[in-house]
Amino acid sequence: MSAPPQTGTTLKRAAEGARDRASAYVAGLQAEDGHWCAELTADATLESDYVLFQLWLYPPENGQWQPETAPLIAKAVRSILDRQLPDGGFNIYAAGPSEVSASVKAYAALKLGGLPADHPAMARLRNRILELGGVQAANSYVKINLSLFGLFPRRYCPNIPPEAALLPFGLPYRIASWARAILLPLSVVHAANPSRPVPQGFTLDELWLPGASPAFRKDAAWFTWRNFFLAIDGALKWWERHGSAAIRRKATGKAEQWIVERLAHSDGLGAIYPPMMYSVMALDVLGYREDHPVRAEALRQFNRLMVDRGGRFFFQPCFSPVWDTAIAAYALEQAAPGNPAIRRAADWLLAREIRRKGDWSVNRPRTEPSGWAFEYVNEFYPDIDDTAMVLLALSQSGSPAPQRALDWMLAMQSRDGGWAAFDADNNWQFLSKVPFADHNAMLDPTCADITGRVLEALAAHGVEPRHPAVRRGVQWLVRNQEADGSWYGRWGVAYIYGACFALRGLAAAGESDREAHILRAGEWLRSIQNADGGWGESCASYDRGAFVPAPSTPSQTAWAILGLIAGGDAGSLSVRHGIEYLVDAQRPEGTWEEHLATGTGFPKVFYLNYHLYKDYFPLLALAAFVKARNETD
């Protein structure tokens, strides 16, 4: 690390130079139509799932993959192997430990892809899986996928009945939108009880840990929600054998209608990998031909997630154009007001406002539709986080935001005062005890990062601090602060992310930086700074339920600086050292490098690398620092 600039005027000038280089770099990435969309990457599980999906679509003949499929399977195998850890397993985030579900998926995919069981990589992987508890220790999501091919006993998988589509009072809408989009098509597949062919003699018997039961383990207490739902699961398995065929047909028909309706107004069901994959499977078991327009389009949208170029092969979990465009435009507004890229971005965003009632309207039926989705087209699923970020971007772009978007966001406030991602009041905690919920993604509760961003967006559009919704949001943040002064960040890793956007929201809502909760948060951020001047946090924070340090990253350093400045600290040594870190780590072309995951899909299960986080968040932090110094000089 070269000698950093010192303090005072020298540091401010260095920050201005870094800001301007970053502005030029980010603006240069804008597409001709005005939007940004960087790569979004994850772990090897997507490529592993892809191999199983190809087994569904194009079963091998005489033990050989079909000619049109074989080259892609070979690329997937190479992509998976490239990420194998020295201990033989696979992790779910960079620098993380081996994880059993990811490792089981990888083993199945590699073996299906042609690697023999005695291959050194397979032997190391098998041994690691057995050390982690064997296939019995994998989550239900993995077991269900394997059961579709007879590779795991169906009787040890949770039952997913399509009759859920018939439940009254909007009960399917009490689970998170992404879980709903997975479970409805998966229930159709599960009810059909398909037995897809696998190569003759192919099994995963070697992954079974001797003596470990595959059955769900009951709690010791007589009544717990887990035990209750396990009893329900037993009843559903009985229903599957003896229940009414007429009711099942009706339920399957309603689930089909639900799926097809949403496919018509999205780039794939939910516009995210798992439901997009399961929707194709569901259409198959429902009898849709390969050339049926609905089925063909569903598969086309799934295949768009594939990146196959320049020797690189991987799948993106989805696309992030609205998110990237809103943050990039907002950062440019703060750093380079008047940049022509800002107006082009605003026009692109305004054209993508959603005007259709989606799943959210079940709980808010009288609210006029508005908002923005994360992806290019996903009309049933606008989300509050993207909507708040778009409104922030529009607030200084010269393009006025529609009032209905603000009204929609206000209407989506939950009763507890906070905001969640896709729905309001999606917080029935007992549902997290259903057998399928071990993938940790059944609910969409309110969270600090989104609540803070919404408060910031409301303030940017003139909503006064005394507004009841603002006061309730502030109270939610104060009430949900961690004992150490941080906040739990749901959609970014992790407590640094939560602290940053909680502090920005509180500042925008008019909270004094002398309040105890603000001071405690600032002290916490300063206390976790790394020796190199930056900040870093591991995804392991979610497993431990508390901050776990990691090497510094540009995005997390930027979040910490933004949080400190929002809390009234623009001149401490911590902030200066953080700015020095960003200035020194910047590459000549104005970008930064970042290899660790700082985005969160599902805590403890799935993490994301947003490939523009390393650029537009440092740009925003540098702009905030320069602005704060200008105000005090």
Which positions are catalytic? Answer: 385
Q: Which helix (H) or strand (E) holds 313?
A: strand 312-315
**DSSP classification of residue 607:** E
The span from the CA of 26 to the CA of 41, in Å, is 19
Distances (CA, A) of 482 to 23, 478, 495, 499: 35, 9, 9, 10
Distances (CA, A) of 4 to 533, 555, 626: 10, 19, 17
The span from the CA of 300 to the CA of 318, in Å, is 14
Tokens 């303030």 sit at which residue?
459
Within 13 Å, how many C-alpha atoms sit on residue 492's CB side?
Answer: 26
The span from the CA of 316 to the CA of 399, in Å, is 32
H helix intervals, 379-481? 384-395, 403-411, 448-460, 468-479
List CB contacts of 9: < 8 A, sequence separation 6 or more: none
- The residue count for the chain: 633
Closest CA to 276 of 181, 187, 195: 181
The span from the CA of 52 to the CA of 196, in Å, is 11
The span from the CA of 449 to the CA of 389, in Å, is 12
If one counts every other C-beta atom within 10 angstroms of the C-beta of residue 289, the result is: 10
Tokens 């406030």 sit at which residue?
413
Give the three-class secondary structure for 471: helix
Closest CA to 591 of 9, 27, 25: 25
Q: Can you read off the two tokens belonging to residue 10?
A: 């020298």
What's the distance, Cα to Cα, between the start and end of the chain in Å?
A: 29
